[in-house]
């Protein structure tokens, strides 16, 4: 009986490998959604799953070259101590991070990449960006959000996850809105966002607040428009905010 079971297991594994081999070239011509559907038929991080994840990576890089960049990420098992939802925090717990190409990490169910997500304040006004139609992520078109982005390999400091993320924060602030350190009166970590909704499953939001010494800034990127908003305007435009922005505004801005 044991021999029969081993034979049957070998046969099924061999069939799966043959199926994967016969469809690999055609999969590269399919949509991202179709590739993810085929990948979901295999155990996560199995040999077949990893091969399909590599095909997904190639398709992502072809359609969105920016995903070739190497970024830091966390294993989901290392984040068990962080609850789902929004939690207030002024520093990160010790977490080991790794580095890989972003295209391999997107749509990966057991990994998350940290995203510094920054409240930019001057007196009682808050800086948001309005996303245009050609930003590469249709779900965000027309939405208002805070500044932030991935933490790259060049931002990483060995053994210091907090400093690594803050290096990424400063780089993103300068790239997105021309904000330099000398323009900032205060920087403070405010909390963590951990969600399993849609693409949020890929990310861990590290929320910061900076206070500027002047408000003469604007978006430095095409398809993004900078907006200064009071608490009153944020209440009026709440439904047009990105999902993470709604969480931040509800828990840290309008609650004060």
pLDDT value of position 256: 73
For residues 54 and 184, give the distance between their C-alpha atoms in angstroms, rounded to a whole number.
Answer: 41
For residues 122 and 214, give the distance between their C-alpha atoms in angstroms, rounded to a whole number.
Answer: 7
For residues 131 and 128, give the distance between their C-alpha atoms in angstroms, rounded to a whole number.
Answer: 10
For residues 38 and 65, give the distance between their C-alpha atoms in angstroms, rounded to a whole number.
Answer: 23
pLDDT tens, position by position, for the chain (256 residues)?
454 454 444 444 554 554 555 466 777 788 899 899 989 999 999 999 999 999 999 999 998 999 999 999 999 999 999 999 999 999 998 899 999 999 999 999 999 999 999 999 999 999 999 876 454 454 455 789 999 999 999 999 998 999 999 999 999 999 999 999 999 999 999 999 999 988 889 999 999 999 999 999 988 887 788 999 999 999 999 999 999 999 999 999 998 7
Q: Which pTM was predicted?
A: 0.85
pLDDT value of position 131: 76
Nearest to 149 by CA among 135, 168, 163: 168
Question: Residue 97, Cβ neighbours under 10 Å: how many?
Answer: 20
Question: What are the Cα distances from residue 152, in Å, to 98, 103, 171?
Answer: 11, 13, 10
Helix, strand, or coil (residue 191): strand
Residue in the structure block whose two tokens are 């960006």: 129
pLDDT value of position 103: 96
pLDDT value of position 3: 47
| Number of residues that this document lists for the chain | 256
Contacts of 37 (CB under 8 A, 6+ apart): none
Backbone angles phi, psi at 197, to 5 degrees: -85, 115
- The CATH superfamily assigned to 69-253 is Nucleoside Triphosphate Pyrophosphohydrolase (3.90.79.10)
pLDDT value of position 185: 96
For residues 60 and 68, give the distance between their C-alpha atoms in angstroms, rounded to a whole number.
Answer: 9
pLDDT value of position 224: 82
Q: Catalogue the E-assigned strands of 175-249.
A: 184-194, 203-212, 224-229
For residues 90 and 189, give the distance between their C-alpha atoms in angstroms, rounded to a whole number.
Answer: 5
Contact 53, 104 (CB under 8 A): yes
Contacts of 244 (CB under 8 A, 6+ apart): 117, 145, 146, 193, 200, 205
Nearest to 244 by CA among 236, 232, 253: 253
pLDDT value of position 222: 77
Could you tell me the residue ranges of all domains in the chain?
Answer: 2-63, 69-253
């Amino acid at each position: 009986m044991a021999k029969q079971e081993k034979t049957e297991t070998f046969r099924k594994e061999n069939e799966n490998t043959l199926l994967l081999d016969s469809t690999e070239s055609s999969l590269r011509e399919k949509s991202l959604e179709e590739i993810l559907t085929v990948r979901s038929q295999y155990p996560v991080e199995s040999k077949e799953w990893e091969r399909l994840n590599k095909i997904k990576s190639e398709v992502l890089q072809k359609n969105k070259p920016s995903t070739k960049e190497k970024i830091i990420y966390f294993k989901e098992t290392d984040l068990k101590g962080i609850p789902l939802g929004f939690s207030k925090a002024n520093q990160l717990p010790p977490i080991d991070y790794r580095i890989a190409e972003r295209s391999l990490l997107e749509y990966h169910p057991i990994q998350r990449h940290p995203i510094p997500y920054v409240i930019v304040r001057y007196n009682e006004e808050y800086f948001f960006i309005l996303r245009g139609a050609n930003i590469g992520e249709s779900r965000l078109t027309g939405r208002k959000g805070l500044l932030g982005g991935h933490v790259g390999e060049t931002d990483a400091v060995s053994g210091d996850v907090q400093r690594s993320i803050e290096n990424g924060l400063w780089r993103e602030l300068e790239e997105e809105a021309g904000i330099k350190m000398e323009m900032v009166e205060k920087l403070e970590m405010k909390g963590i966002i951990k969600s399993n909704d849609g693409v949020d499953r890929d990310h861990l939001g590290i929320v910061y607040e900076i206070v500027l010494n002047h408000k003469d800034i604007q978006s430095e990127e095409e398809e993004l428009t900078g907006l200064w908003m009071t608490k009153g305007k944020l209440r009026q435009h709440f439904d047009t905010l990105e999902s993470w922005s709604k969480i931040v505004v509800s828990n840290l801005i309008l609650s004060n």
